[in-house]
Structure 1
């Protein structure tokens, strides 16, 4: 796998005009206003933030361009956006609004030609292929799209290679059953995907603490992403925006 600088990436979920955090892709908890949240993260000097609009694909809605412009205007760090992007003009609008990268998930299944074209015209480094994986008791590992609603008839590693063949510059792997649970990453999954492709891998799903972020790097990932670990504090999961301090970053890397 290609070497890249190790990054620590909060993944924020946009639903309507507000941010939420899910558990196993359901039961969303409201977190707050996205613009205010970005301002808080500015002071923490985050590496990057991935913003996923979880209502765009499900409701077949266009990305909220004006809201994205507001968010990007406040951010002092790189931003990636995912949710409902199936048109090159829309992708260009998102980049022009101040986002540096586009995350595609369902489109890799429903509009693969579009994804390949976007990679060619906007550049592979602009496109992140996202894959959501769930382990089912009788069927084993399965890749899902449409917010975990539709299974893909392909093995996990074959799907990862398909994303690479489409031209994406990076692949984000998310373990659905670990989403928001804060019980640790699926390191075996991350390791197998990292070994199977030549593009960098972002590990997501299950981070339980800041020290836990380091475990994905030994499994081959180039970036550690998470949601709950950056927005919840304590056993009662009180909402608190947080990010590793510089001293913590030294230990993680």
Structure 2
């Protein structure tokens, strides 16, 4: 049985960590390298950096952040946001990232998943899927641009497709739950985990320590990602891991 992972997510814009609700009303919460170092010492299993502005200037800043973080942090580092080509993959991996997360670029050009997996290995390729429940409450559709654009893709079908193309992992965010702090979207996570054989990271909605237990106990998620809870020191990674271990969840302490 694989141990479950706890992953803090840092939304980075122009070299600073920001946090908002549903990707709006952003507030500055600090320096990404310092925050990543802190999470590393707290026992995080991995760290995710998402470049949420991802303009050309932002990309250079982000690569610098990745370089500086990779020198100080010795757990896997996943970087996403604005990565559109094999060249972007190469630059970001060279800067020190261990995995690359792609979202809208994968939807616009699914071949990128295949090409990246063939060149760098599936373990490097994470496809982020942001999903929203359909209006008829039957199934979920994939959205991009912070939930503002409906791609028309069915989330389960798309998850199966990205696995087929060679993705090594899925970062699954429920846009219905994101920033709401009412718990992970168990139904949505299970719809995806029961349809694919690659690891799924659950994201969106964690509000209290019990939510971590629930996501591992009631869904097939391999990892749980959270941001504001950790950034605002409402909970520490250490606390979460001790709680999970005492609750019988296989976790690396």
- The residue correspondences of 1:1-253 to structure 2 (distance < 5 A) are 4-56=2-54, 62=59, 64-135=62-133, 137=135, 141-218=140-217, 219-233=219-233, 242-245=236-239, 246-251=241-246, 253=249
Q: Distance in 2 between matches of 1:194 and 1:139?
A: 19
How many Å apart are 1:130 and its aligned residue? Answer: 0.7
Aligned length: 244
Between the aligned partners of 2:20 and 2:244, the Cα distance in structure 1 is: 26
In the superposition, relative to structure 1, how do residues 4 and 103 fare at CA in structure 2: closer, same or farther (>3 Å)? farther
SS, match of residue 196 in structure 1: coil
Q: What value does the CA root-mean-square deviation take over the aligned residues?
A: 2.1
- 1:161-210, Cα deviation, whole Å (9 max, x unpaired): 12112210111110113212211111000011100111111111011122
| Conservation of the 8 A alpha-carbon contact between 1:125 and 1:169 | yes
**Is the CA contact 1:180–1:206 (under 8 Å) kept in the aligned structure 2?**
yes
- Secondary structure of 2:161's aligned partner: helix
CA distance in 1 between counterparts of 2:58 and 2:10 reads 18
Aligned to 1:238: none
- Using the alignment, how far apart are the partners of 2:172 and 2:40 within structure 1? 26
TM-score, length-scaled by structure 1: 0.88
**So what's the TM-score if we normalise by structure 2?**
0.88
Measure the CA separation in 1 of the matches of 2:175 and 2:29: 20
How many angstroms apart in 1 are the aligned matches of 2:110 and 2:149? 16
Gap regions ≥5 residues in structure 1:
235-240
For structure 2, list consecutive stretches of 5 or more residues without a partner in the other structure.
Answer: none
